[in-house]
Structure 1
Amino acid sequence: MNISRIMCGALVACALLLSPRSVPAQVADGLQAAVAAQREMPRAPRLPRAALLEGRTLVAVRLSPDGEHVAYLRERKDSRSLWLLPTTGGAARTLVGSTQAEQLWWSRDGRWLFLRAPGTLTMVGVDGRSGVRVPLGGSGRRQVVKVDPSQPAAVLLRERVRAGAGERWRIVRLDVHGKRTLLREDPRWIHDLALDARGRIVALARFEGDHDALHRVGADGRLREVLRLRPMQRIDLLATLADGSLLLEGNPGNGAEGNFRRVLRLGADDRLQTLHQDPRGEADLDDVVLDPRTQLPVAASYRSTVAATHGIGSAQATVADIARRFPGRDLGLQVGSGPAARWLVSERAATLRDPRLHLYDPRNGSLRRILDEPGIGTKSPPEAALARKLAIAYTASDGMRVHGFVLLPPGVDVARAPLVTQVHGGPINHFRAGFDGTAQFLANRGYVVFQSNFRGSTGHGRDYVFAPKGDYGNGRVQQDIVEGVRWLLARGIGDAKRVGIVGHSFGGYSALLGLTFQPDLFKVGVAGAPPADLGWSMRWLVRSGSQGDLPDRSLLHTLRALSLDSTDPATHARLHAQSPQANAAKMRRPLLIIAGGADRTVAIREVANYSATLKALGRPLTLLVEPNGGHSPVDPVPREAYLFAMETMLQRHLGGPAPEQPGQRLRAYLRANLRLAGPEFTTFAAPPR
């Protein structure tokens, strides 16, 4: 069978699926065409767990403003280093042999790099010079806001200072020689700001105690509010233009105007103009690219349905040319300054664990692959072994159009395959079109994977986020997920007798709901860090958890706007009445819970209390706890344990392939950390004392 022809058929099917104007018959035909194409492909070889667990070798990659160098952080086992590659050709050279940096930025003049590690900011010259090193975090809550666009080589920092029993916030400029300049001290938490060419703050966005607002800043430092934002509205200040207008991204405005995130220009007369938004009218802006010289927008990307990048203004033809070279791919762009400067193109897809990087010459349209030598890109799983992710949209029982994705295992008759529903966390979050290691792991084992961007998810506009109207218990949100599963089953995708549900955080909560209230549909569940009572969990998160001491305390107001305010007795009572904790007696399906003992997003005591309740009721349960783990596992062995335990559970109850046997370190981890071992894990648990 001709693989390229099959892939072409799958892409055509995706196009049919994703057109908002497609009639239902076209959608059904497109999905069936995709199913047929996937079924005719060769069966994917089974990948080891490590192939989908390994972190990216390239941690961060950045093109210099002049387009002459690419700086990148490279990971080798436990060592990370900073490298510099000339775009005109030649070998890369090491700038820093060992660093803990997770992010990097170029200075405006392209002579310095700023490296951000968890607790420090380090400045490094491209000629090997060392700049200052400044601690981040701490009692001053020091954070990097952005690179200073008005100076050759400086960053803007936000710092907290105590003022009696209260606090104030400073915006400080720090250059590569260590010179500090106080730009503003404010009683409010400033989340973004814009500077003019002289380095003066001309606009800032800050939290006002119950809402965000954008202010113009006068020469005397006084503020004039120009935009007042509602809950779930946010703006980011991109640039100050020569005429005094501001370039923004966000979703300010009332009614339909304030629905989707888009690229905006706020004129000197404070009138808003939309420069670009999703042409399909379905997705929020995900990323915008600026020309380093003019500060004008060059491209905008949208990724909550079909990944698409569009050129803006004079760059339309150039971006369209790049897109033609990479059909069906998700493109990330970085732009050099001037018509002769090269662009960096990041080629991404659901079937690419690691992006492929190319240099594009806008003068002649040439492309050159970079950073693909052995040791950087050769460990990524082959695309043929991974499942294509198809964007879908289905109509809920109340008539609302709900979005999502489905992954179809290559070479598998999906009508006979087990189906796993994967629910994202948040719920203020969403699945994107790109690579998802957990979903690909399950698809590689022969499971159809359904990812629902149920109403309440982000990425599809503010109206979509507020559509649940607070119904996050066994109500409208859960119904969207259930109806999506049944929509797929009705189209011959998945075996109705072998359906499971998995998720982390809010996704874990949904898994508990599914087993509790829809046991006819879901036969087994895996819940990572699950709140068992969403009302209690939200209250704890705001008061005592990771959100309790954040300077931006807008979460409480966001929850109120979403009708999730657990400080309201009626809301708390409603969420509790529909919670898995209050309905534990109804839960009879086999369940695996995975949690972190030091989780500050979902309290371990809540997880432990729910588990003890189920155990007392004699329900089938396995509980795996990483003793000092946070909200999600980070280290290699706990991450592998997560996948192994999930695979073991699903295989036992849905009939997938038997897991590869754990190695010695994984066996020891399971033996030490299985707090409760159901029948699926008795061989790995420590003997009772």
Structure 2
Amino acid sequence: MPVPAAPDLITRAALFGEPTRHGGQLSPRGDRVAFLAPRDGVTNLWVLSVDAMDEARALTDERARGVSTFRWAADGSTLLYLQDADGDENTRLYAVDVASGATRALTPAGARADILGVSAADPGAVVVALNDRDRSWPDVVRVDLTSGARTVLQRNGGPRGYSSFLLDQNNVVRLGVRARGDGGADVVAFESRGRSRTVFEIPFEDVMSTRLLGFEADGAHVLMLDSTLGQPDTQARDRTALVRVDVATGEKAVLGEGDRADVVDVWIDPVTGAAEAFATEYLRREWRALNADSQADIEFLDRSLTGDFTVASRSADDTRWIVVEESPTTPRRSYMFDRAGPAGRRLTSLFSHRPELQQAALQPMAPVEILARDGATLVAYLTLPAGSDVDGDARPDAPLAMVLLPHDGPWARDSYGFDATHQWLANRGYAVLSVNYRGSAGFGKAFLNAGNGEWGGRIQQDLADASEWAVTHHVAEPDRIAIVGAGFGGYAALAGLAFTPDQYRCGASFAAPANLFAMLDLAPASQREQLYRRVADARTEAGRQLLRVRSPAFHAGRIRSPLLLAYGAHDPRLTRGETDQVAQAVRLRGILTYLTFPDEGRLLVRPQNRLSYLAVLEHFLGDCLGGRVEPVGASFEGAEMNVYDGAVNVPGLSAFSRRPAQPAVQPTSQVVDGSIESESAQSPEAAAEPQQ
């Protein structure tokens, strides 16, 4: 029987370059669509008229990092967007006049702004959370769109400050979530003359699975996702439900819940503020309507689309929606959904986010359930290379090299749908496995809280159990498994190589907190109590011992498999020294590739840098696991990158080579004046000079 030919290489640029168009948002009147698209290679804000969809025009002219987060102001003539400086996460708020394209900054540089609300009752303003006065506890501030004048609506501050606020539909600050010393929170109502009262409490175990959504139009009721509500037959609720709360009495009514997983999305009527439908997600997302009209919407979209759908935007009168469709083999597409036209419901194609993938050989994704060693069920997703599963049973005909992808967070989750990384690696010939280890969100608070204190412990065991499952089920060859991740996923990759050095053939880690002492020390005061309880309490001897045991920086000398290590120099959650500590421990083994990106933070926002890192990662995995490799080509053009180790392993990478810092002693940690300090080596940037 002839072996089927491998499919064409899907280019990294097609999968990970800037989308052609994406992020569509309807204006309040529903007559225009703002969206994101490249302008001279950098993502900017564009706008088009619904009556002239072929006549889009660019509104902004960002030349460096591009625009990623925006929304319409309530006046319908202004767009608001947030932009940081080289990844430092201090997002500054800008306003763009849609008619002229004139752009102006509304908040100061060096402070973080987050949009809390816009309102038809106050169309000339936006309300933001702004931390220019206190870095840890942002105030609630009204900003005038014309003059830029700022008025503090709610002053905030520790030690019992508010971690979040909720406005009503008139942009009045009505509720705040106030941190408690035990890691829990109180939901507080703000009343007249500066008075406040606690509406209800959120225990520590429920803080991450409980969230305020929005006020109904009557101002008397609020919608929320809630895991705290008791039931008649139990003392507590495990799964997060959609709940309606009477703000005056605190009385709660359950509107919807799932059988096996949390509520993860809700349709809310923009006019009344009432809930219309909700989605739960165990293996896949499932929608349930709360009224007949929403049921008809769901049935129409199910009939009209082949993939799963989400509602991305609505007009103020709710007659028009933007709906996004996707599936593992369907790259994202946006549609205009007219719900009240003379001919009834109508769906019109708006744009394909990545039209270059329309004809690509994309592979299906299989949801699987994996039993951990203690009997816990782990929901995971598996993608296989083309031609490797002839009988279609979601298992390859012969074991393959495999890449394990632990997700970031860790309090997030992997989901079913289009995943560029899965498609990329499967196209190169690897089996790809993503697993929701304990501590992942969406599977009930017991599963989420089972990850507390288990960084590098049971979480790491879950990842190892997923690898063993893949070997046992003939998905993966036991000696050809790589572990690759970013953020917490990068931490898990380092921990896997250091704590179980025989488990993985190689690993890649981007933006990883290698020294947990440093991670806690850098965390804002508003988050620290939560982190003490979820990672380890650095104020106690037992906690400090656990942090030392679970920090890969202190055990990097045990790493003997090839390691790709990288980070963005402006990442506010890392110290440059902690990544350098890992590099110095591994360097003499000759198995290290070490990169830094001097104009990036926790994410690789600039496409030149993103494609450069992925080109290095692809060559790294090709050397380690033997998969197919797309030539570097123009991937390094325009990149800002420093390479301290491994430059000779990838064609063209030597142009970015720098000398590494001199070796230093192994890292230690100590408590100084109540804070954790880590002794670390000089960072690469501090000692960098070009190689001769």
Q: TM-score range by the shorter chain?
A: 0.7 to 0.9
> Out of 184, 201, 209, which is 1:228 matched to?
201
The CA RMSD over aligned residues, in Å, is 3.6
Q: 1:479 to 1:606 in 2, by over 3 A?
A: same
The separation in 1 between residues aligned to 2:92 and 2:452, in whole angstroms, is 42
> Out of 504, 509, 516, which is 2:491 matched to?
509
Identity value in percent: 25
Equivalent in the alignment of 1:157: 128
Q: 1:626 to 1:155 in 2, by over 3 A?
A: closer
> Out of 19, 26, 34, which is 1:71 matched to?
34
Q: 1:513 to 1:399 in 2, by over 3 A?
A: same
Asked if 1 retains the 8 angstrom alpha-carbon contact of 2:369 and 2:377, the reply is: yes
> Out of 311, 334, 341, which is 1:356 matched to?
334
The separation in 1 between residues aligned to 2:284 and 2:167, in whole angstroms, is 35
Q: 1:333 to 1:140 in 2, by over 3 A?
A: closer
- Is residue 653 from structure 1 mapped to residue 619 from structure 2 by the alignment? no
Structural mapping, 1:274-289, within 5 Å: 274-277=254-257, 279-282=258-261, 284-289=262-267
Q: 1:451 to 1:166 in 2, by over 3 A?
A: closer
Q: 1:418 to 1:168 in 2, by over 3 A?
A: closer
449-458 or 292-301, which deviates more: 292-301
Q: Deviations over 1:271-308 (max 9, x none)?
A: 1122223x3422x3333232221111233344563133
Asked if 2 retains the 8 angstrom alpha-carbon contact of 1:346 and 1:358, the reply is: no
Equivalent in the alignment of 1:219: 192
Gaps in structure 1 of 5+ consecutive residues = 1-38
Q: Deviations over 1:576-614 (max 9, x none)?
A: 235444444433222222233343323221121122122
* CA apart distance, 1:393: 1.5
> Out of 293, 305, 308, which is 2:283 matched to?
305
Structural mapping, 1:206-355, within 5 Å: 206-208=178-180, 210-231=183-204, 232-233=207-208, 234-242=210-218, 244-253=220-229, 257-267=236-246, 268-277=248-257, 279-282=258-261, 284-302=262-280, 305-314=283-292, 315-338=294-317, 341-355=319-333
Aligned residue-pair number: 629
Asked if 2 retains the 8 angstrom alpha-carbon contact of 1:503 and 1:511, the reply is: yes
Equivalent in the alignment of 1:17: none
- Is residue 525 from structure 1 mapped to residue 507 from structure 2 by the alignment? yes
Whichever residue aligns with residue 467 of structure 2, its letter is V
> Out of 446, 456, 464, which is 1:482 matched to?
464
> Out of 409, 423, 430, which is 2:406 matched to?
423
Q: 1:666 to 1:273 in 2, by over 3 A?
A: same
Asked if 2 retains the 8 angstrom alpha-carbon contact of 1:87 and 1:342, the reply is: no
SS of aligned partner of 1:435:
coil
Q: 1:150 to 1:542 in 2, by over 3 A?
A: farther
Asked if 1 retains the 8 angstrom alpha-carbon contact of 2:137 and 2:163, the reply is: no
SS of aligned partner of 1:612:
helix
The separation in 2 between residues aligned to 1:173 and 1:526, in whole angstroms, is 43
SS of aligned partner of 1:380:
helix
Whichever residue aligns with residue 301 of structure 2, its letter is I
Equivalent in the alignment of 1:145: 116
* CA apart distance, 1:566: 3.1
The separation in 1 between residues aligned to 2:275 and 2:330, in whole angstroms, is 27
Equivalent in the alignment of 2:646: 677
Q: Deviations over 1:119-178 (max 9, x none)?
A: 55444566x268994433546654422213643443112345759x99883432535565
> Out of 385, 388, 398, which is 2:361 matched to?
385
Asked if 2 retains the 8 angstrom alpha-carbon contact of 1:137 and 1:143, the reply is: no
Asked if 2 retains the 8 angstrom alpha-carbon contact of 1:391 and 1:404, the reply is: yes
- Is residue 463 from structure 1 mapped to residue 424 from structure 2 by the alignment? no
Whichever residue aligns with residue 273 of structure 2, its letter is Q
SS of aligned partner of 2:494:
helix
Equivalent in the alignment of 1:609: 581
SS of aligned partner of 2:297:
helix
Whichever residue aligns with residue 199 of structure 2, its letter is V
Whichever residue aligns with residue 35 of structure 2, its letter is Y
Q: Deviations over 1:204-233 (max 9, x none)?
A: 334456543211222223101012223333
SS of aligned partner of 2:249:
coil
Q: Deviations over 1:489-548 (max 9, x none)?
A: 22222233322211123222222232334344421222223344xxxx3332232x3x3x
Equivalent in the alignment of 1:45: 8
Displacement over 6 Å in runs of 4+: 39-42, 129-132, 165-168, 667-670
Asked if 2 retains the 8 angstrom alpha-carbon contact of 1:420 and 1:449, the reply is: yes
Asked if 2 retains the 8 angstrom alpha-carbon contact of 1:346 and 1:357, the reply is: yes
Is the helix fraction higher in 1 or 2? Answer: 1
Asked if 1 retains the 8 angstrom alpha-carbon contact of 2:339 and 2:346, the reply is: yes
- Is residue 636 from structure 1 mapped to residue 607 from structure 2 by the alignment? yes
Gaps in structure 2 of 5+ consecutive residues = 85-90, 390-395, 659-690
Q: Deviations over 1:434-453 (max 9, x none)?
A: 33332321111011100111
Whichever residue aligns with residue 371 of structure 1, its letter is L
Q: 1:668 to 1:161 in 2, by over 3 A?
A: closer
* CA apart distance, 1:64: 3.1
The separation in 1 between residues aligned to 2:603 and 2:44, in whole angstroms, is 25
Structural mapping, 1:564-643, within 5 Å: 564-616=536-588, 618=589, 620-643=591-614
Asked if 1 retains the 8 angstrom alpha-carbon contact of 2:26 and 2:33, the reply is: yes
SS of aligned partner of 1:295:
coil
The separation in 1 between residues aligned to 2:494 and 2:148, in whole angstroms, is 52
Asked if 2 retains the 8 angstrom alpha-carbon contact of 1:352 and 1:383, the reply is: no
The separation in 1 between residues aligned to 2:574 and 2:269, in whole angstroms, is 42
* CA apart distance, 1:487: 1.5
TM-score by length of 2: 0.81
The separation in 2 between residues aligned to 1:62 and 1:52, in whole angstroms, is 23
Q: 1:285 to 1:41 in 2, by over 3 A?
A: farther
235-244 or 454-463, which deviates more: 235-244
* CA apart distance, 1:347: 0.9
SS of aligned partner of 1:157:
strand
Equivalent in the alignment of 2:69: 103
Asked if 2 retains the 8 angstrom alpha-carbon contact of 1:351 and 1:435, the reply is: yes
> Out of 183, 190, 196, which is 2:153 matched to?
183
SS of aligned partner of 2:192:
coil
Equivalent in the alignment of 1:6: none
SS of aligned partner of 2:187:
strand
Q: Deviations over 1:602-644 (max 9, x none)?
A: 322112112212234x352222223444233332333223222
Asked if 2 retains the 8 angstrom alpha-carbon contact of 1:596 and 1:629, the reply is: yes
Asked if 2 retains the 8 angstrom alpha-carbon contact of 1:192 and 1:237, the reply is: no
SS of aligned partner of 2:126:
strand
